[in-house]
Amino acid sequence: MEKQKPLIIANWKMKLGVPESRDLANKLKGKSSPNYNLVVCPSFVSLTEVAKVLKTSKVKLGAQDCFWEKQGSYTGEVSATYLKEVGCDYVIIGHSERRQYIGETDTMVNKKIDMALQSGLIPILCVGETFDQKVSGSRDTVLINQVTRALESINIAIDEKIIIAYEPVWAIGSGQSPDPVDIWNAHQVIRQSLFDIFPATIVKNSISIIYGGSVSANNIASFLNLDNTQGVLVGTASFEYGTFEQLLRAVNK
């Protein structure tokens, strides 16, 4: 598998308000590097301000969710079209925190992926097993089901891209992460299920698999060294400039 420049995606969750997001974006706007592509995903209300800051930067903008309809009477929801309008290129879909706290289902995730692509956004589909699923040995089944249901009937045009983030639920925000060998195996399971859904050229050229869950300056290299891992999704280690800068430095080494 050809190794690409790794993608580093910062998920700011509901951790930073507008002034804090603007501040952090200002510090990060010059942090592009020949060694990685950087994407930041602030909360909805911070997107416009962060977009202004990143206007001339190589750092890209992403949102943390979108709705599955383009427009209509859906109080509180945010259209993928609006996200594109404010300057987003990426959107996280199906994060386990949304599955857990908002009750997001595979069917919703599937419709959101479709809408994201239709709106010209690159979806970052999150999948991963819970601790109980890991212990009971059902990780692979969970991954295959999540990937298959999320991508059912999705058409990926030659110029479109999808990113799949393998994020074990038990690793998120816990300071624990799987052994790199286990991540490699999980990514192979995901990749294999993609070959059952899409033509081989699409799997090879249009879909990237990345890892997320307690990624830090100390462990990032061990994930990026895996030959089937094209980037990372970072939460906690991205909320504060000093910590995140260390992580970026670890990639530049």
Comparing every residue's Cβ against ligand PGA, the nearest one is 235
* Whole-number Å distance between alpha carbons of 205 and 35: 20
Nearer to ligand PGA, 227 or 240 (CB): 240
State yes or no: is 160 an active-site residue.
Answer: no
Amino acid present at 178: P
Contact 168, 128 (CB under 8 A): yes
Q: How many CA atoms lie within 13 A of 130 on its CB side?
A: 6
Contact 63, 90 (CB under 8 A): yes
Token pair for residue 199?
A: 């033509």
Point out the catalytic residue in the list 97, 104, 160, 167. Answer: 167
Cβ 234 to ligand PGA, closest distance in Å?
Answer: 5
Nearer to ligand PGA, 97 or 114 (CB): 97
* Whole-number Å distance between alpha carbons of 25 and 16: 11
Cβ 111 to ligand PGA, closest distance in Å?
Answer: 21
Nearer to ligand PGA, 196 or 240 (CB): 240
Cβ 249 to ligand PGA, closest distance in Å?
Answer: 17
Amino acid present at 24: L
State yes or no: is 167 an active-site residue.
Answer: yes
Q: What pairs with residue 211 in β-bridges? A: 166, 232
Cβ 167 to ligand PGA, closest distance in Å?
Answer: 6
Contacting residues toward ligand PGA, per CB under 6 A: 11, 167, 172-173, 212-215, 233-237
CB burial class (10 A; 0-12, 13-18, 19+) of residue 148? middle
Nearer to ligand PGA, 16 or 215 (CB): 215
Point out the catalytic residue in the list 69, 95, 152, 187. Answer: 95
Residues with catalytic roles: 95, 167
